[in-house]
Structure 1
């Protein structure tokens, strides 16, 4: 994000200078530690073998951490210098930007006045008196002079703004150049990223893209799970996205980035996305099956078949015969299994029955106003909608267990649907903005930012990706970096 012309310059000089001081203090701390380690190395009074090993280790450590001193020192100096330059640039450009707003408004008024004065001269009658002509010409001259004066003031303010903006750009380029010396230039001291570091950054980038794909799939799967092949792929990706969310929350909690409550909520939403829909569907199928079996039990076999049909009786009795363990197993298979309604429509498409499939989907899926569209979008669960339609019949036996299962399925389905839609939108927004990354290959491994407390965050206005120059991973500036000579 570059500066907007004639607006106040982006940037927080105080924040940039504070970061520079932090790096300078780290460099000083390294110098002190190197001195202490050198004293251990130089200590020859103690001759124990254990002390010999300690001196050897101290020497090796001293050499390693001394290499980092220049990186911290140069970075601190560059940021401190840039912060001061940014402050001076803003002191010059920002007042000019404020004046420009007022001057441009005044210029519009003056130009309108000048136009009116010109019209006044043109509209003078032929028999106008000399005094009238003199007054009209004087008004026109004064109005034109006011316009010229304001234009000159605007030009001066623009010159001042350009001067401040140019000073900021020059200071930024100088800061980036200084930092690059200790990152990729002559003073890198062996701290340049290795091939493995670059590989990890590539993997991290691929992961972030894949995570966004999974989050998008989680939303699309709500509407397109019926589509052959595509529906199954979307459901699998959505399930993987929920698994990623679960792992991310656990990792963040283990690293102390979030509290136990936030971790529990994040894991809960992930589990809900994986298994919530199937669990609610199981309650719906149980309620429907129980009402069928209970009602059929009070009828003759012939009457029951005539009322419900052989297929429904068979599936209902099979559902009622399932043990608790079997029900749990069926629920746990849910991340990669489509519902019965989706499978039926996909089967029609596979067999070439496109018209039947489309009609079936019309009556079952969003968008409205197709049949049952509102109910199916609200609950997001074909099994629950099927149960609701089933209980609209009369003469069904509904005992307390059936009623409870029916209530849990109906209320739970609406909750799960709302939670999944909201959570999917939030996850997608966080993934796109970069605020929900895994962070396993994050700034903690960086020689420059790890000891400084990790990623700096976005300090709006630094017209160059200075932190990328230091570590290659974090954007100090909130800008998009240096492109073709423009900051």
Structure 2
């Protein structure tokens, strides 16, 4: 099923059997609780009205939880049986997989020797002695015999692997059928999912797929934020993904699923993804503006215009005049806003100035339409690249504040870009590879995911989905899958 041909079989027999024991223990706990409740129902020595109400309630509860006993019992038995079968299948298939790797390597070498021997035999001149011809023939025959022997050995090991793989699939199918019997078959006992449960499952799947899309957008936005329309969509999705990451980490911490340090790291990375680049841009623009304004103040108006240009002078004076509050406000409102550089390229593309967009505006080559493409990739920030280009000029006034802002912007840009790339790649890899995205929407979760914990898909290597069984059991016992309290 999910196994790779001629490789070790997926799944851990020890883990499956441990989960089987856990579910069996849950079933036994239910049995004991049912027995205790039945004793309460059968106790007629106390005739007080309050005790009559207690007996009635105990009877109702007993009937409800008894319905779920089969679910845990059958699941435990199915997992335990499958675990034993999985161990046997792996004991047969895994050694064969290891031998196959060695045999295939030896076969490749043997075939090369055989080809060389046949070539030497064919290349013998007609004048060669009979002894030389006999030696060449024996060498070719021996080499071909070695090849045939290895091919037979490989066929034997492949049969062992196929036998183990078939046993595993057969056992898995039996286990799934047994579990499905208590989830949606004859032994469901009225514990089917409600319409609301089904709606929640669908919504959960849609959310996970959307989260993966946001993670992908977080990576693509780094490179394609300049593209008209698409760039804006990617920026919005990336920002939403960062917000979702922040919320999820806080919720997980509140539930006790992660520690305080992990929560702080997750929230920090999310906040950095939202505001880090914009804050760094603000520092870079301030460093450039401070340098322009202070340098221009020592020059005549004409000389300043000649050195920087009217547009740069005006924008620098405006930026330099911003208060701290205005700078903070600008950063906070900007996660959904593209940079001025991205907007400029997008405008050129929108107006059909493709050559200007891809070669003229700081540009060199697609898909990095910027003059210093490598620098922009490393920095991930137009404003920082622009600031670096500005400080390459001579005759600038650079005081300690300007120098510090310049250093903070440069180092911060590299760190922010590296962290964002790594974080988005890690989230995406975890989402898809770990069953937190499309995988779980299409069936990566299962009965073993809740209650006893773990992931059935990882345990068995099968895309099984019996989530609705968990939902029904949890409705009776709560999210931990255990009977609350002592009866």
Q: TM-score, normalised by structure 2?
A: 0.79
Q: CA deviation at 1:447?
A: 7.8
- Residue of structure 2 in register with 1:193 after alignment: 193
In the TM superposition, 1:140-219 aligns within 5 A as 164-219=164-219
Give the deviation of 1:395 after TM superposition: 2.0
Q: By how many angstroms is 1:297 displaced?
A: 2.1
The Cα shift of 1:277 comes to 0.8
Correspondence 1:417-428 to 2 at 5 A: 417-428=417-428
Shift of 1:397: 1.7
Alignment of 1:121-132 (within 5 A): none
User: Within 1, Cα distance between the matches of 2:243 and 2:450?
Assistant: 28
Specify the SS of the correspondent of 1:458: helix
Spell out, residue by residue over 1:143-178, the C-alpha distance to the aligned partner (whole angstroms, 9 max, x if none).
999999999888777666655554444333322222
Aligned equivalents of 1:199, 1:242: Cα separation in 2:
26
Which secondary structure does the structure 2 equivalent of 1:279 belong to? helix
Aligned to 1:398: 398
| Aligned-pair CA distance for 1:60 | 2.9
CA shift in 2, pair 1:366/1:379, >3 Å: farther
Judge which range, 351-360 or 247-256, deviates more.
351-360
Q: Which residue of 1 aligns with 2:64?
A: 64
Q: Which runs of 5+ in 1 are unaligned?
A: 474-487
Aligned CA distance change for structure 1 residues 175 and 457 (closer, same or farther; 3 Å): closer
| Secondary structure, aligned partner of 2:459 | coil
- Aligned-partner Cα distance in 2 for 1:421–1:452: 35
Identify if the C-alpha distance between structure 1 residues 362 and 303 changes in structure 2 by more than 3 Å, giving closer, same or farther.
Answer: closer
Q: Find out whether 1:329 has 2:361 as its counterpart.
A: no
Aligned residue for 1:465? 464
**Structure 1 range deviating more: 387-396 or 64-73:** 387-396
Does the CA contact (< 8 Å) of 1:379 and 1:385 recur in 2?
Answer: yes
Structure 1 residues 191 and 454: alpha-carbon distance in aligned structure 2, compared to 1, 3 A threshold: farther
Q: Who is 1:293 aligned against?
A: 293
Q: Distance in 1 between matches of 2:161 and 2:433?
A: 32
The alpha-carbon distance between structure 1 residues 157 and 361, as it changes in their structure 2 partners (threshold 3 A), is: same
- Equivalent in the alignment of 2:476: none
The residue aligned with 1:481 is none
1:292/1:424 CA distance change after superposition, 3 Å: same
How well do the aligned residues superpose, as a CA RMSD in angstroms? 4.4
Offset, 1:32: 0.7
Q: How many equivalent pairs are there?
A: 463
Q: Greater CA radius of gyration, 1 or 2? A: 1
Listed as ranges, the gaps of 5+ residues in structure 2 are 473-487
Distance 1:53 1:326, change over 3 A: farther
1:427-465 deviations in Å (ceiling 9; x for gaps) = 221121135569999x9x98876432464562245x673
Give the distance between the partners of 2:14 and 2:234, measured in 1 at CA: 48
CA distance in 2, matches of 1:395, 1:142: 82
Residue of structure 2 equivalent to 1:375? 375
Q: TM-score, normalised by structure 1?
A: 0.79
Question: Mapping of 1:303-452 within 5 angstroms?
Answer: 303-361=303-361, 363=363, 371-434=371-434, 450-452=450-452
